[in-house]
Structure 1
C-alpha cells in the first residue's frame, strides 16, 4: 500500500514511539505478540494558565494544542501566537500569545464568581456556531466520495498497524490533503484545525472524512472550522444531526463501500456515479 502523493501530512505507522509490542494469547491459546498504540498524557497551557490534560499518541503536539484552543473558542483568529513550546519529558505543551486572550480574561472572571468556566466556554461555542454561514455553493460528487474512500482505506496507517485509533482526513474534491490519527477522534480533528491555522490553509472547497461517530462535538468543531461537508464511516447522534441541520452542514454517515446515508445538507450532493459500476 502506498499513501497518495497529495498528502501533506500522513500517518507514520513505522514510528516506534507510537506503538508498543504486547504479548498475549489468541482464541486457541497460542502465543501472540501484537502492536498497540501508545497513549500518553499531554498537559496544555495557554500562556501561564493550565487548560487541560489530554490523552494522545503525542505526535504533532503543536497542531493538537493550537487546534484544541481554536475549536474550544479559547483562541480567536486575530490572536497572535508568539511561540509553542513542547517538552516531551514533562509531557507539556505551552502556547504563548502576544497579549492575554479573551478566554483567559473570561476564565478569570468566571473563576472568581462561581469556580467553574466550562458553562461559559460552551455557551461561547454555541454563540459562534450560530453566526457561521457555511458555503452554500460547495458540492460533493459521489465519484469524489468513492475515490476518496478507496485512497484513504489503502493508505498505510496506525489504524491498520495497531487498531484502537481514529483517523480524520482533510480533502479537496477527491484529493486527500492532511491525514491525522489519534486515540480520540476529537484529537485527530483538532490536529487538522491546528495544522490549517499554522500553515494558512483555508477551509474553502474542503471536506472532512472521519472514522468517528458524528456527535454534537464533531459537528460543532467542523462548523467552527467552516468546512461545509463531513463524512464518516460511523453513525450519527440525534443532537449531532440537529446541529448539522441548523448550520446547513452536509452530514454523511455509515459510509462503507458504495453505501452512505446523508441526513443534512443533501442539496450539495451530486450523483454522478453508476452504483453498479462502483459495486463491481
Structure 2
C-alpha cells in the first residue's frame, strides 16, 4: 500500500501506479517545454451474467469493485443476491459479474439518463426509483471529525494532487478515512466504494462519504440509496441535490475548505464541538489544485 501521510487506509490511492497516468510533453505559457502527468482513460464493459449492461470510461483500477458497485447502485444487484463470480479480462477490458439469480434487465437498459458527472455517467431506469422507501440513520456528525477528515484526505498522496483532472471519493467512519477511490467521473469513484462495501459486507449506518466533486442530484441519490447518512464535499451544491437530501434526511455538507463549510441539510445532526478559529487555513497547494 502506498505511503499515505501517516493515515491508515484500507485502500488508498497509488499515484505511482504506472498504468494510471502517463508523462506528456508540451509547452507552458512562456513557450518553454514542460512535462506533466496526465490521467489515463480506458473503456470497461460491464456484463451482468450474459447481458451486456454498459461501457464506462475509467482510469482502470479496481474494475471488479467498479462493476459490482455500478450494478448495485443501478438496482440490478439486490441486497440478497449471491455473487458466484466476478471475472475481469484485462485484454478485452471486460468485467462479468455472475449471480445465482437469473437476471434480465432488457427493459431497464432501454431507459437511460445521462448524468451531469464528468466523463458523463449513465443511469438506467427511473433515477428516483426506491428513494421514497429510504430511511437513513440519524447519525450525529462532530465538526471536529469533519475538520480532521478534510486534513487527512487533503494531505494524502493521490492522483488528484499528482495530475488533477480526476475526482476522489472517500468512505469514512468518525474521523478516520477508510477507503479512498479516484476516477475520471465521481460516479465511478462512488461505485467502486459501493462495490467494495457489497463484496466485503460492510455496514453503512455509521459511515460518511467525502468527495471532491459537486453535490449533484446523482451524488445525493447514490449516497442515499447506499444507505449512507452523511455526504460531504470540497465543492458546491446543485439545487435539486439539496432538495433531495432534505427529502430523504441526508446530512449534506459542502464547500469544505480549511475552517469553512456550509451545511444545507441535516444541521440538527451537526455537533459543533470545536472552535473554527482553532483550525488553520488550507494550504495554497490544496487551494490551487481544487481550482483546476
TM-score by length of 2: 0.89
CA deviations on 1:213-264 (whole Å, 9 max, x unpaired) are 1011101100011110000011111111111011010001111111111111
Aligned to 1:144: 145
SS in 1 for 2:279: helix
Residue 125 of structure 2, aligned match among 122, 126, 150: 122
Question: CA–CA distance in 2 between the matches of 1:279 and 1:99?
Answer: 52
Confirm or deny: 8 A CA contact 1:4 1:176 kept in the other structure: no
Unpaired runs of 5+ in structure 1? none
Confirm or deny: 8 A CA contact 1:229 1:251 kept in the other structure: yes
Q: How does 1:32-43 map to 2 (within 5 A)?
A: 32-43=34-45
Residue 2 of structure 1, aligned match among 4, 7, 11: 4
Confirm or deny: 8 A CA contact 1:166 1:185 kept in the other structure: yes
* 1:3 to 1:64, Cα distance in 2 relative to 1, 3 A: farther
Aligned to 1:95: 97
Question: CA–CA distance in 2 between the matches of 1:258 and 1:72?
Answer: 36
Decide which structure has greater helix share: 1
Q: Which runs of 4+ in 1 moved over 4 A?
A: none
Unpaired runs of 5+ in structure 2? 114-122, 282-292
Aligned to 2:202: 201
Confirm or deny: 8 A CA contact 1:166 1:188 kept in the other structure: yes
Confirm or deny: 8 A CA contact 2:4 2:12 kept in the other structure: no
Q: How does 1:139-218 map to 2 (within 5 A)?
A: 139-218=140-219
Equivalent residue pairs, number: 270
TM-score by length of 1: 0.93
> What displacement does 1:6 show?
2.5
Name which of structure 1's ranges 195-204 and 2-11 shifts more when overlaid on structure 2. Answer: 2-11
Question: CA–CA distance in 2 between the matches of 1:2 and 1:236?
Answer: 29
Q: How does 1:224-235 map to 2 (within 5 A)?
A: 224-235=225-236
Question: CA–CA distance in 2 between the matches of 1:148 and 1:45?
Answer: 35
Confirm or deny: 8 A CA contact 1:41 1:55 kept in the other structure: yes
Q: How does 1:77-96 map to 2 (within 5 A)?
A: 77-96=79-98
SS in 2 for 1:279: coil
Superposition RMSD in Å:
1.6
Question: CA–CA distance in 1 between the matches of 2:195 and 2:68?
Answer: 5
